[in-house]
Amino acid sequence: MRFLSSAALFGLAYASTQAVLQPEEPSDFRTFHSPYSPHHSIRIRQQNESICAAHSAQYTGWLDIGRKHLFFWYFESQNDPANDPLTLWMTGGPGGSSMIGLFEEVGPCLINEYGNGTYYNPWGWSRNSSLLFVDQPVDVGFSYVDEGEDLPGDSHQAAIDMHRFLQLFVSEVFPQLQTLPVHLSGESYAGHYVPYLGSQIVQQNKLYPTEPQVLLHSCFVGNGYYSPRDTTYGYWETLCTTNPGVPEPVFNQTRCDIMAANMPRCMEVSDVCVRNPDPAICHAASEVCYEGVIGWYDDESGEGGRNRFDITAPCALDGICYIEAARIEQYLNTPAVWAALSPPKEIKEYKVTSNNVSRAFDLTSDTMTPASEQVAFLLANQVHFLAYQGNLDLACNTAGNLRWAHSLPWRGQVEFASKALRPWSWVDVVSGKGGVAGTTKEVRVKVSESTDKESRFALVTVDGAGHFLPQDRPDIALDMMLPSAALTICCCLFWFGYNHGLTPSTASAEMDELDFAPAAAMDFRLTERTVADTNTDCIYNPVSFLLI
């Protein structure tokens, strides 16, 4: 099952009413070679603000892996690049360009309404982290392969290339990053990309301790495609109840009854696929589930129809639905951008999706089998994991991913499944406003009996947002990632202690007893702003551990 259409998506043209700034002459490429892998090198050049208003140093280039070439765009942190972590973003698909994440969601600059320039994004994730976008697997976006080279057909093959990229990037190109934490992020099919890459990093670090290490700290994925079976199961709850936060169900009772009747057979054949991940078996299972469950909605999606990524919104374009994707494609094909990036002659034009990659993955069972084993492996190796969800999404719905999270086979499974979801709050770093964002639950579990080291797994939901949560609610998305999110915890400690006559340290211990899990993990650091902005209705903020 694919969430980015393999059809040609964007054939629209837009009248330009703004002029695109002409870039200054970019610097020449510099090339860095890997001392550990002779076929790997990175060619890179620095960019200026003209094609992306980033407010920090930025670089573009390609990783060359023999006959394969991965494009990247890197932004240094706007805060403290020498000490802030590195966050990698990978858009899903399979076959989606990570330029969607850059220019539509979490990048320091966003595409303008005319598709001919960018503007600064105050909620970009490079505020407190260096940020790296990679068009992967090869053949996506500005990435390319030499003639005759096969494309990766599964997440494991893609992860091998990406690990080598990160290893060379942090050791040779930006060696100051080698001692800093690395976070893997993305959305949609990144529910496969991120766990597979994370597992590859952990395994290679252990196997080759004398080679440069990628210091993987955590993973966070928005509306991830972790388990096709559970995602399909969540279709009924998403369309036939008000649980996503809609005033009435999307489907009538007749359709819901048909889907419910077809669900057991779909689950049965999906289980066969998981136990026997042969592509032929899994494709047959996918057809059963599509005809009996998924197709009731997806057959009506597309331009002018239903939107799989937000059940309350119309669909402007076939495939990805949002007009911003077409504007990104238009902008990245302008002469000014090409002059700045200097793509090689093998690239004829930039496309926001790769049909070739979609087809390559279709030939394997990757899109129809879960990534649960990889996520469990990460948690067993002290890599924290956050699954965040926009509740209005159907394609990678909250109901299905909550079901997946409950069945995840790791040491914290029983505790996590037994916990109830509870409200969490957010604070906008730009305006200072905030409120209740959605619900969450998390657990922290020792990775083994012989150590005090813990892994943390959290699931966070956001009301009023769909599949592209950072696009719908950029303020909340940033709050989840910033260390300043911990201020909510500090505020809660302050008011809890004040109302109960406790000192900060005693309040922290008392709140731990009340299952206020993060309290003991946070430094008690109240500021004037913290106290002034605090609401006495203290609500848990779950995810500030990610970038601290």
Active site residues: 188, 393, 467
- The three-point CA angle 311-317-321 to 5° equals 35
Question: What residues have CB less than 8 Å from 312, skipping those under 6 apart?
Answer: 246, 392, 466
Q: Tokens representing 259?
A: 């889907």
Q: Is 358 buried (19+), middle (13-18) or exposed (0-12) by CB count in 10 A? A: buried
Dig out the tokens for 493 from the structure: 């400690």
- The answer for residues whose C-beta is within 8 angstroms of residue 325's C-beta and 6 or more apart is 9, 10, 100, 104, 317, 319, 352
Q: Cα–Cα–Cα angle for 473, 229, 363, nearest 5°?
A: 100
Angstrom CA distances, 195 to 188, 262, 326, 375, stand at 12, 31, 29, 5
- Positive or negative, the CA dihedral 181, 187, 190, 192 is positive
Note if the bond before 137 is cis, omega within 30 degrees.
Answer: yes
CA distances from 406 to 381, 382, 403, 414, 482 (A): 19, 19, 5, 8, 27
Closest CA to 393 of 286, 472, 328: 472
Q: How many CB atoms lie within 10 A of CB 8?
A: 11
* Displacement of CA 349 from its chain's centroid (Å): 26
Question: Residue 469: helix, strand or coil by DSSP?
Answer: helix
Half-sphere exposure at residue 409, Cβ-oriented, CA atoms within 13 angstroms:
6
